[in-house]
């Protein structure tokens, strides 16, 4: 299987980012036919499974995957599909909702630091500390000055995680406003999906341009060599899953981890 070059979707640090110029539809370099797509995704899932087992056994590194995006962009779906073949023993997903009163009494990274992966673990954040510079900014809860200070705190925080062995990957799930409408309508129509809806989904949709502007600023300000952002085209769910599985596999392969040797001599044990 040829390696997919994901670099065109990697955000460069502090350069102007224009989300409307990035297609939300399936990238052309990915297979269009369902069978080829499913085949490639399955192969990547198998690889991810093996890499995660090595990560877990060697306990020398950790991986944090941050998922951000507008409502219905597919944060939950990504977690369900991309990690469906991975052992739950070494994977944890954490969702961040609006902060509690206690959490608001602390600095904004307090609740987040508590949930980062330990060595050997793969943790997925469904929303994250980035809400503290996105939704808070759009709703006018913080001003530009506080926001810029938070960018610095985030950069230092992620740099600390990196220095302690954690690989930080951040994906912005890039959905079009039109596709979001279809998905919100599908949730309104399906009794099994209605529970997911919140009034804020509709309020946030009204502020779509402000959210896009906030995302553009945040992604450019906080995409670094040690914690890069990727803009993941996400109107097609199977392509989104393939993108993220490929990104994880490529990132974990680069770590060149080895299964540890047993701590005792195998020739010393006798099986009755």
Binding residues for ligand AMP, per CB under 6 A? 71, 96-99, 127, 131-132, 135-136, 200
Nearer to ligand AMP, 59 or 153 (CB): 153
- Work out how close the CB of 227 gets to Mg ion at its nearest, in angstroms, rounded to a whole number: 25
- Identify what 103 binds: Mg ion, ligand AMP, none; CB under 5 to 8 Å per kind: none
241 binds Mg ion (CB under 5 A): no
State the pairing for strand pair 166-174/91-95. Answer: unpaired
> How long is the chain?
272
Would you count residue 204 as binding Mg ion (CB under 5 A)? no
Do 175 and 69 contact (CB within 8 A), yes or no? yes
Which residue number is nearest to ligand AMP in terms of Cβ? 131
Nearer to Mg ion by C-beta: 106 or 196?
196
How far is 90 from 191, CA to CA, in rounded Å?
Answer: 33
Which of 24, 30, 52, 71: binder of Mg ion (CB under 5 A)? 71
Quote the least distance from Cβ 104 to ligand AMP, whole Å.
9
Rounded to 5 degrees, φ, ψ at 121 are -105, 150
Q: Which does 250 bind (CB under 5 to 8 A by kind): ligand AMP, Mg ion, none?
A: none
| Separation CA 116–CA 109 (nearest Å) | 11
- Alpha carbon 63 to its chain's center: 11
Q: What gap in Å lies between CA 113 and CA 105, rounded to an integer?
A: 15
- How many residues form the binding site for Mg ion (CB under 5 A)? 1
- Cα angle value 13/18/20 (rounded, 5°): 145
Q: DSSP 3-state assignment of 91?
A: strand
Query: How far is it between the farthest Cα atoms of the chain?
Result: 70
In the bound complex, what is the minimum distance in angstroms from residue 215's beta carbon to ligand AMP? 13
Q: Which does 136 bind (CB under 5 to 8 A by kind): ligand AMP, Mg ion, none?
A: ligand AMP
135 contact choice in ligand AMP, Mg ion, none (CB below 5 to 8 Å, kind-dependent): ligand AMP
Residue whose C-beta lies closest to Mg ion:
71
Q: How far is the CB of 159 from Mg ion (least distance, A)?
A: 30
Nearest to 65 by CA among 147, 136, 161: 161
β-bridge mates for residue 171, sequence order: 67, 230
Look at residue 160 and give its three-state secondary structure.
helix
Nearer to ligand AMP, 131 or 155 (CB): 131
- Where does this chain bind Mg ion (CB under 5 A)? 71
């Amino acid at each position: 299987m040829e390696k997919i070059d994901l670099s065109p979707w990697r955000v460069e640090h502090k350069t102007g980012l224009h989300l409307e110029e990035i297609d939300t539809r399936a990238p052309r370099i990915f297979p269009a036919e369902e069978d080829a797509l499913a085949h490639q995704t399955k192969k990547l899932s198998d690889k991810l499974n093996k890499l995660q087992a090595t990560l877990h056994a060697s306990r020398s590194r950790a991986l944090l995957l941050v998922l951000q995006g507008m409502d219905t962009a597919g944060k939950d779906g990504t977690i369900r599909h991309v990690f469906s073949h991975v052992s739950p023993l070494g994977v944890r997903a954490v969702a961040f909702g609006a902060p509690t009163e206690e959490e608001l009494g602390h600095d904004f990274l307090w609740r987040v630091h508590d949930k980062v992966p330990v060595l050997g673990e793969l943790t997925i954040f469904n929303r994250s500390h980035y809400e503290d510079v996105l939704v808070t900014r759009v709703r006018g809860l913080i001003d530009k000055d506080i926001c810029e200070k938070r960018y610095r705190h985030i950069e230092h925080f992620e740099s600390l995680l990196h220095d302690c062995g954690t690989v930080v990957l951040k994906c912005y799930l890039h959905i079009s406003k039109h596709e979001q409408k279809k998905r919100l309508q599908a949730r309104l129509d399906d009794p099994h999906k209605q529970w997911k809806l919140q009034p804020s989904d509709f309020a946030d949709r009204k502020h779509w341009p402000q959210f896009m502007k906030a995302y553009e600023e945040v992604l450019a300000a906080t995409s670094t060599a040690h914690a890069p952002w990727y803009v993941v085209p996400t109107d097609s769910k199977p392509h989104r899953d393939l993108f993220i599985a490929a990104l994880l596999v490529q990132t974990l392969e680069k770590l060149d981890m080895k299964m540890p040797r047993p701590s005792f001599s195998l020739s010393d044990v006798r099986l009755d």
